[in-house]
Chain A
Amino acid sequence: MRELKILAVVVFFSLLTYYLVEPYAHSQMHKHVEGHNFVYTGEDDIQEASKEKKEVKEKFWSEVKTIAALKGDPAAGEAGFGMCMGCHNGAGVNMGGVIPPNLDHAGALYSKNYLIALIKDPAMASNVDHKYADTMTHPMGSVKTMFTDNQSIADVVAYLMTKKAGDVTPKEAYEEACGRCHAMRYAKLTQLGETPKFKHEKDALAYKIKVIDAQDAVKAYMGKLPPDLSIMIRARSEHFMETFVENPQSQLSGTSMPRTGLTEEGYAKVKAYLEEVGDPSKPKREAVGPWVLGFFFIFTILAYLWKQSQWRDLH
């Protein structure tokens, strides 16, 4: 039938145009980055590293592998964790540029390999060693002097993985993993946590200055203020977010954002929160969509019957 042939031509050229300007153009525009399902073995780090650093990194990650094979003792690790508590106390006080994260759910959020690497050498683990001539100067660099033998690292990580691995809500996951550096104004979150309500403008302004101070500290440390994450979930593609969180250097070479070491489940939690805030209409979209489409299916059927009744005796 002629009309269907014409339709086929129209559809063909429309889809061709769509393919060229959307999937194809985007595949050409963006760098291809392979994901690793949030498993941290340092593979990327070694590959990206400059010649002189390659060897150091290879050695570092192979040691991480050795430690991961050790059997950690949570009870022994608890004593070691006491040292961590000096900074990771949830007080929200900036230390050397960043606020040490709360570790209440560290075992549930972060990968074991990553935690081992982090205690061994924080700058290397988070893949920001390019920022430091000596990784000791990393804000958490001194940890290297606290856990000097492999077994003590294995113990404290075993402690985190068993005792600090309770249920974690998406919001807690976000706050612990991202919220110290990134604000999220649509959820009224700043680097200092939830913004309280103030009755008097003076108090509100005083608090605002505290926030700006905190942001300036982060800015001084990171080089620029990390972006607000309110609707980041819509501003970046799913693939970008995953690979970026896994290894920020892979998408943004030279960035000062450290790797956070989230596991796949940990990232799923963070993502759920980013979606809840940044794309809150998603559940409604999914609920309303089928009804609207159903309406137009029936509309089209009725319109077809009407058209048939009008046109049946024309030829």
Chain B
Amino acid sequence: MQEEKKGRRDFMGKALGAWVAVGGIGALYAMKRTWDPLPSVKAAGFTTIDLADAQPNQLVVEKWRGKPIFVLKKSADMKKDPRDVVVGDDHFLIAIGLCTHLGCIPAYVGAEHKFKCACHGGEFNASGEVLKSPPPSPLVIPPFTIDGTKLVLGEAGPEFKKLKDAGLIA
């Protein structure tokens, strides 16, 4: 008799505890949503760059999602690369301007057609490929789509998907 009562007491306490846990999960979900990036932050994750104004061998740095974006129009004497973004007849390097080693911003040396990173001495060529370690991989190409001479960063268009399918970008 005594045991039976105790059993019922424990059971009801546990049932209530389980129900509170359900509510707790709901509350945690709401808290998680509060931590999410704001819709306005996400909506602002697109940057449009007009490539028509670019000059050959002159690096333009734009900003996309808080990161620097390298836009480099290749001059005739620069090597073409399958990773180039082609608009009309012009070839461009479009890449996130952060060294793939530890995230410093490499400087462009126009005369040598090279990116040199001051932090740990890494070097990239004008197509973003590694010339000198420590960087383990080429400069990263952000998702983009081409709209006439305009480049929209943040949206994966057909050209971007093609590069991706070809295994040229991670």
Contacts and interface: CB of A to CB of B under 8 A. Distances in A.
Contact of B16 (A291, A295, A303, A313): A303
Contact of A295 (B5, B8, B11, B26): B26
B12 interface: yes
Contacts of A298: 19
Interface residues of A, number: 13
Contact of B5 (A291, A303, A306, A313): A313
B38 to A, nearest CB: 13
Interface of B: 5, 8-9, 11-13, 15-16, 19-20, 22-23, 26
Interface of A: 291, 295, 298-299, 302-303, 305-306, 308-310, 312-313
A310 to B, nearest CB: 6
Contacts of A306: 9, 12-13, 15-16
Contacts of B9: 306, 309-310
B19 A309 contact: no
A309 B8 contact: yes
A14 B73 CA distance: 74
Given A295-B22, A313-B5, 13 more contacts: A291-B26, A299-B19, A302-B12, A302-B16, A302-B19, A305-B12, A305-B16, A308-B12, A309-B8, A309-B9, A309-B12, A310-B9, A310-B12
Contacts of A305: 12, 15-16
A128 to B, nearest CB: 39
Nearest to A313: B5
Given A309-B8, A309-B9, A295 B15 contact: no
Contacts of B22: 295
Contacts of B5: 309, 312-313
Nearest to B10: A309
Nearest to A311: B9
B20 A299 contact: yes
A299 B26 contact: no
B16 to A, nearest CB: 4
Contacts of B15: 302, 305-306
B12 A299 contact: no
Contacts of A308: 12
A313 B23 CA distance: 30
